[in-house]
C-alpha cells in the first residue's frame, strides 16, 4: 500500500470514530445565536488564541448571506 493511500485510510478510520453529537450541539447553538442576534464569544490560550482569532474571522466574514443575520462574534 502506498503512503498516500495508507494516510487516507487512517484519516477515514479516525473520522468514523468521532462522536457527532457534541459537534451538532455546537452547530445548533451557533445557529440559535445567529438567528436570535445573540453575541458569540470565542477565546483561546497560547497558540490556540490564533486559532480562535481565525474562527472569529470565519464566522464574522465568511458566513454572510443575503436575507440572513450576520454573526455577532468577538474574540477574547
Longest Cα pair distance anywhere in the chain, in angstroms?
51
Kindly indicate the confidence band of residue 67, based on its pLDDT and cuts at 50, 70 and 90: very high
pLDDT digits (tens, 9 = 90+) for 5-45: 999 999 999 999 999 999 999 999 999 999 999 999 999 99
Domain ranges of the chain: 21-75
User: Which helix or strand (DSSP H or E) is residue 31 part of?
Assistant: helix 20-35
Residue 1 pLDDT exceeds 90: no
Amino acid at each position: 500500500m502506498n503512503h498516500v493511500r495508507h494516510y487516507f485510510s487512517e484519516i477515514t478510520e479516525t473520522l468514523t470514530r468521532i462522536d457527532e453529537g457534541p459537534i451538532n450541539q455546537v452547530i445548533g447553538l451557533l445557529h440559535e445565536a445567529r438567528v436570535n442576534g445573540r453575541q458569540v464569544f470565542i477565546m483561546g490560550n497560547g497558540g490556540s488564541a490564533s486559532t480562535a482569532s481565525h474562527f472569529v474571522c470565519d464566522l464574522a466574514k465568511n458566513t454572510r448571506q443575503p436575507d440572513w443575520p450576520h454573526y455577532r462574534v468577538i474574540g477574547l
